[in-house]
Amino acid sequence: MPELPEVETIRRGLHERIVHQHVREILIHRPEIIVGCPDEFATAFEGNRVTSTGRRGKVLWLAFARQGLCVHLGMSGRLYLHNGSDHPPHTHLVVTMEDGAEVVYVDPRRFGRLERIDLLDLNTSRILRNVGTDALDPAWTAQRLLEEASVHSIAIKEFLLDQTHVAGVGNIYASEILHRARVAPHRPANRLSAAEAKRIVHSTREVLRAAIAAGGTTISDHTDALGRPGTYQHHLRVYDREGESCTASGCAGEIERTVQGGRSTYLCPVCQQ
């Protein structure tokens, strides 16, 4: 579920609602989702004030003075302000704020992780250790993509999915980005032209920004911090559209599905070369 736009949507909602509030209590129902010591995790934040929020790639955190409550949502993780009495199934952690608001972490598949991190040295975090430059960071340029890709013979789609190179692009948006950039997903990364690298970086920004504006993509269960679904699924041009016609202007192609690295890739064989 959660790629950069979904995580950013959640971060913004949480930011609006809980920054400047103190944490009253943290209840951990599933200690194994915590990286490090769960007891220390809870007590480290209780009584402290959320000063801000942050994000890099698909990872977000609540910032306190110099430490952060860092969250990676994995495949099925959700983080939102809960209202109502009963917590849903698979609620692994509940953060109660001073105004009584409850931020719940729900994750059926339990691939997600939480960690207490040092905001002064993010790279000591196990979650953030392998997370590179954020895909919306201006420091990620076409020239940098071209340089880094030039030493990798893997397919460009797998390159984009590797979070150490550029962080935040997941399986849905990788297909969308390459379609808009008119680059075939199987092309070796080290065979990109400068023009193609430029188109990929441009498309990345365009797609991710539009998806954030739409509140993310909700295939089955993504919601923002207030529990509302996103709408970007209506703007997807290739993902999960196998057999449908390509929407690129003047293109008569039909969307195909292939498998790369065990994961679905969608493309138009006509306009992506």
Contact positions vs DNA (CB under 7 A): 1-3, 6, 32, 57-58, 72, 74-76, 89-90, 108-111, 129-130, 151-155, 158, 161, 163, 170-172, 217-222, 261-264
Q: Which residues are catalytic?
A: 2-3, 58, 263
Judged by beta carbon, residue 64 or residue 107, the one nearer DNA is 107
User: Is 173 within 8 Å of 3 (Cβ atoms)?
Assistant: yes
Judged by beta carbon, residue 65 or residue 151, the one nearer DNA is 151
Judged by beta carbon, residue 17 or residue 257, the one nearer DNA is 257
How far is residue 180 from each of residues 144, 176, 202, 234, 238, measured CA to CA in Å?
20, 6, 9, 16, 10
Largest interatomic CA distance in the chain: 60
Burial (CB count within 10 angstroms: exposed 0-12, middle 13-18, buried 19+), residue 211: buried
Q: Kindly state the smallest distance separating residue 213's Cβ from DNA, in Å.
A: 17
Judged by beta carbon, residue 52 or residue 130, the one nearer DNA is 130
Torsion of CA 21, 27, 31, 34, to 10 degrees: 0
Q: Kindly state the smallest distance separating residue 157's Cβ from DNA, in Å.
A: 11
Closest of 80, 75, 110 to residue 95, by C-alpha: 80
Q: Which residues contact 250 (CB under 8 A, 6 or more apart)?
A: none
Q: Kindly state the smallest distance separating residue 131's Cβ from DNA, in Å.
A: 7
Q: Kindly state the smallest distance separating residue 78's Cβ from DNA, in Å.
A: 9
Q: Kindly state the smallest distance separating residue 86's Cβ from DNA, in Å.
A: 15
Q: Which residues contact 85 (CB under 8 A, 6 or more apart)?
A: none
Closest of 142, 81, 143, 136 to residue 106, by C-alpha: 81
Q: One-letter amino acid identity for 39?
A: D
Closest of 37, 30, 41, 42 to residue 89, by C-alpha: 30
User: Is 18 within 8 Å of 97 (Cβ atoms)?
Assistant: yes
In angstroms, the CA 271 to CA 252 distance is 9
In angstroms, the CA 59 to CA 69 distance is 11
Judged by beta carbon, residue 62 or residue 167, the one nearer DNA is 167
Q: Kindly state the smallest distance separating residue 244's Cβ from DNA, in Å.
A: 15
Judged by beta carbon, residue 180 or residue 222, the one nearer DNA is 222
